[in-house]
Chains A and B, each alone.
Chain A
């Protein structure tokens, strides 16, 4: 059944209607998010294995993480998820200017997150709390304390890379929104960006207690 009437410019030729295209994009995005969960899942497994083998060392090592900065980052990401969701909600209501503002706020909050992370990382580098063979810090009780920091850097590092990628994607989408590419008729790319961004928030929601709030 071919679309003989109004053929929206954003409808690709192999889809029969906009609804099918949108549902497909969502389905595809959720499958991609599944792959991201599995990617981080491997690291969560490494965390579980090593924490089970070294519970006391993990407890001792985690005290050198700054709970306040971690909490701040959690609040920052939660807020950025809110602004992201509100940006999409604005587009659903055809409030393009509002959406632009909210996307810009999301981007800004993401940047704040990275700045906080920068301070945390440089503090650790300064103290020698580095992964693997570069570890020189002596304040942690238990054997092989570098394991905690190795996994910490691997997980927060991978998460940080995802934040950076997210920032680039949000910037592109922000630009396109400014150029009036999106409206209540079509805002799928923003919605997909939102899903990705919420996942990045989700992962942090787990990283935070696992590293910063150990007992």
Chain B
């Protein structure tokens, strides 16, 4: 007599075939869309469809929908950490050029700018205005 242990969720065969069919359809869609020029949105759509596919694989093939919640939590944490890594790194890599905004002008608009100190007399302000 087989007892179904509660952690062992047995899904109908047709569910697996349905998921596979959905994945293939989404693949066709994503390839077709890539031939249409949507500018910057192409990347968004492609990654978006990929995410839907990934979620179907995770929830159904990998049983995340039916498992204990901790497994889903682990999967989500992994994705979040990758996200944090990419986002915080790109705060650096995409904003490197900011420094040129700062160095192109004085920090304080009203600063008095002195010439190099001459050898004899005390230094005099070169001008009252910024350069």
Q: Which of B23, B34, B82 contacts A215 (CB 8 A)?
A: B34
B113 contacts chain A at the CB level, 8 A cutoff? no
- How big is the B interface, by class? 35 or more
Given the complex, which residues of B lie within 8 Å of A194, measured CB to CB? 61-62
Per the bound structure, the CA–CA distance linking A45 and B89 in Å amounts to: 8
Given the complex, which residues of B lie within 8 Å of A79, measured CB to CB? 20
Is A34 a contact of B78 with CB atoms below 8 Å?
Answer: yes
List A residues at the B interface (Cβ < 8 Å): 18-19, 22-23, 26-27, 30-31, 33-34, 37-38, 41-42, 44-45, 48-49, 52-53, 67, 71, 74-75, 78-79, 81-82, 84-86, 89, 92-94, 184, 194-195, 198-199, 201-202, 205-206, 208-210, 212-215
Sampled A-B contacts (23; CB under 8 Å):
A22-B7, A34-B77, A37-B79, A38-B78, A38-B81, A38-B82, A41-B82, A41-B86, A45-B85, A48-B86, A71-B31, A78-B27, A82-B19, A85-B16, A86-B16, A89-B13, A184-B2, A201-B61, A205-B50, A205-B54, A206-B54, A209-B50, A213-B34
Given the complex, which residues of B lie within 8 Å of A205, measured CB to CB? 50, 53-54, 57
Is B31 a contact of A27 with CB atoms below 8 Å?
Answer: no
Given A78-B24, A86-B13, A213-B46, 6 more pairs with CB closer than 8 A: A27-B74, A31-B74, A33-B75, A38-B78, A86-B16, A210-B47
List B residues at the A interface (Cβ < 8 Å): 2, 5-8, 10-11, 13, 16-17, 19-20, 23-24, 27, 30-31, 34, 37-39, 42-43, 46-47, 49-50, 53-54, 57-58, 61-62, 67-68, 70-71, 74-75, 77-79, 81-82, 85-86, 89-90, 93-94
Q: How far is the CB of A71 from chain B (nearest CB, A)?
A: 5
Is B10 a contact of A19 with CB atoms below 8 Å?
Answer: no
Given the complex, which residues of B lie within 8 Å of A209, measured CB to CB? 30, 34, 46-47, 49-50
Given the complex, which residues of A lie within 8 Å of B42, measured CB to CB? 213-215
Quick one: closest A residue to B70, CB to CB? A27
Per the bound structure, the CA–CA distance linking A30 and B70 in Å amounts to: 9
Is B61 a contact of A85 with CB atoms below 8 Å?
Answer: yes
Per the bound structure, the CA–CA distance linking A38 and B84 in Å amounts to: 11
Given the complex, which residues of B lie within 8 Å of A41, measured CB to CB? 78, 81-82, 85-86
Is B86 a contact of A75 with CB atoms below 8 Å?
Answer: no
Is B27 a contact of A74 with CB atoms below 8 Å?
Answer: yes
Is B10 a contact of A18 with CB atoms below 8 Å?
Answer: no
